[in-house]
C-alpha cells in the first residue's frame, strides 16, 4: 500500500488545478499533507483546487514568483504536472513548449536552492515514439515524434543532471493515456463532447492508446514517495499494457451515451504516435503498483461524473 500518513510533510504541486494534479492534491491532503498549488489556469480550473490547499495563480516560468512560493512553503516534495499539453498546437508551433521547459528548469533551480527532498515528474510514454516493440519497457530507445514529447524527454534529462550534480532526488512517471473525472483535454474528452453535441469525430490514420484510470495513476504517484534516493533508475511506466483502438473507444462511448457514431477517416498528420502501450512490470515489481480499473468500468465512472449516463 502507498504511504498513508503524510502529517507535517510539505508539498508543492505545479499544475495542481489540472486533471491529474488536482486528484493528487486531494490524495495528499487526505493523508495529512500540507499542500500548495501553482497553476496558471490555461487548462486547469479553479474549482478543481481543494480548498485545503494554498493556491497561487501564476506561471512557473516567472522565476521571481516561483522563488517566493518556494521561500514561503519550503516544500519537502514537489509534484511537477504544469505543462503545455495541447500536442497538435505544439506541432504547429514548437516554441509553445519552451515556456514549459523554462518553467521546469525554474522548479529544479528552486528545489536545489530550498533543499527539496524529491521532485516527482509527470512524464509521458510518448517519448518512446513509434517503436513497434509493444508493450514498451523503460529501457527502450527514445524517439519522440512530437515537440511535446521531445520537451518532456529534455526535462527528464534535466532532472537526472540535477540529481547527479546537486543531489536533488527525483522520480519520473511516464504516464500512458490517463482518463477520468475532471479531464478536459485529450481524445476521449473530445469524443464525448462531439457525441453529446451530435457532431462527427475525426480520426487520423489508425491509432491505439493505453488508457489508465486516474485513481490508479494517483496510487502510483503516492507510492514513489517511499523510493529511496539510492535507487539507480527511478523511472516507471504507468499504464495497463493494453492497446485500445481509438475508433473502438469512440464506439464504446457512443454505446454508453446512446448516440449515433459519426466517424470521419482522415490521413495521418505529422508528429503523431500510432500504436502505443507501455510495459508496467517494473512498476509492479518496484512500487508494488497494479492498475485495477478496467476500461469499460472506468469509462462508465467518467461519464457518470459528467452526468451523461
Could you tell me if 278 and 174 are in contact, meaning their C-beta atoms sit under 8 angstroms apart? yes
Residue 66's CB is within 10 A of a number of other CB atoms, namely 22
Q: Are strands 235-238 and 118-124 parallel, antiparallel or unpaired?
A: unpaired
Looking up cell 518532456, which residue turns up?
Answer: 152
Tell me how far apart the alpha carbons of residues 14 and 23 are, in angstroms, rounded to a whole number: 12
Tell me how far apart the alpha carbons of residues 169 and 229 are, in angstroms, rounded to a whole number: 6
How many residues in total does the chain contain? 309
Catalytic residue among 56, 83, 148, 276: 148
Catalytic residue flag (residue 211): no
What CA–CA distances, in Å, run from 115 to 21, 33, 199?
A: 22, 18, 51
What spatial distance separates the first Cα and last Cα of the chain, rounded to whole Å? 32
Tell me how far apart the alpha carbons of residues 188 and 178 are, in angstroms, rounded to a whole number: 10
Supply the residues annotated as catalytic.
Answer: 148
Amino acid at each position: 500500500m502507498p504511504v498513508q500518513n503524510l502529517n507535517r510533510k510539505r508539498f508543492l504541486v505545479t499544475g495542481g488545478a489540472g486533471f491529474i494534479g488536482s486528484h493528487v492534491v486531494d490524495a495528499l491532503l487526505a493523508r495529512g499533507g500540507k499542500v500548495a498549488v501553482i497553476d496558471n489556469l490555461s487548462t486547469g480550473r479553479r474549482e478543481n483546487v481543494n480548498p485545503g490547499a494554498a493556491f497561487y495563480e501564476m506561471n512557473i516560468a516567472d522565476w521571481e514568483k516561483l522563488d517566493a512560493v518556494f521561500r514561503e512553503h519550503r516544500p519537502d516534495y514537489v509534484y511537477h504536472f504544469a505543462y503545455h499539453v495541447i500536442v497538435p498546437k505544439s506541432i504547429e508551433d514548437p516554441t509553445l513548449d519552451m515556456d514549459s521547459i523554462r518553467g521546469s528548469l525554474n522548479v529544479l533551480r528552486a528545489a536545489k536552492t530550498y533543499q527539496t527532498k524529491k521532485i516527482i515528474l509527470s512524464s509521458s510514454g510518448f517519448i518512446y515514439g513509434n517503436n513497434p516493440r509493444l508493450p514498451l519497457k523503460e529501457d527502450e530507445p527514445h524517439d519522440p515524434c512530437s515537440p511535446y514529447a521531445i520537451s518532456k524527454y529534455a526535462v527528464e534529462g534535466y532532472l537526472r543532471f540535477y540529481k547527479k550534480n546537486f543531489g536533488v532526488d527525483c522520480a519520473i512517471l511516464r504516464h500512458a493515456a490517463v482518463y477520468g473525472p475532471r479531464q478536459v483535454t485529450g481524445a476521449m474528452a473530445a469524443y464525448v463532447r462531439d457525441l453529446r453535441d451530435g457532431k462527427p469525430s475525426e480520426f487520423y490514420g489508425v491509432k491505439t492508446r493505453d488508457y489508465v484510470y486516474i485513481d490508479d495513476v494517483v496510487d502510483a504517484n503516492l507510492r514513489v514517495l517511499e523510493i529511496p534516493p539510492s535507487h539507480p533508475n527511478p523511472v516507471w511506466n504507468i499504464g495497463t499494457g493494453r492497446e485500445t483502438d481509438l475508433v473502438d473507444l469512440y464506439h464504446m462511448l457512443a454505446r454508453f451515451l446512446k448516440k449515433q457514431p459519426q466517424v470521419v477517416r482522415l490521413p495521418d498528420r505529422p508528429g503523431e504516435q500510432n500504436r502505443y502501450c507501455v510495459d508496467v512490470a517494473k512498476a509492479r515489481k518496484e512500487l508494488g503498483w497494479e492498475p485495477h480499473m478496467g476500461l469499460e468500468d472506468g469509462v462508465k465512472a467518467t461519464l457518470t461524473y459528467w452526468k451523461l449516463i
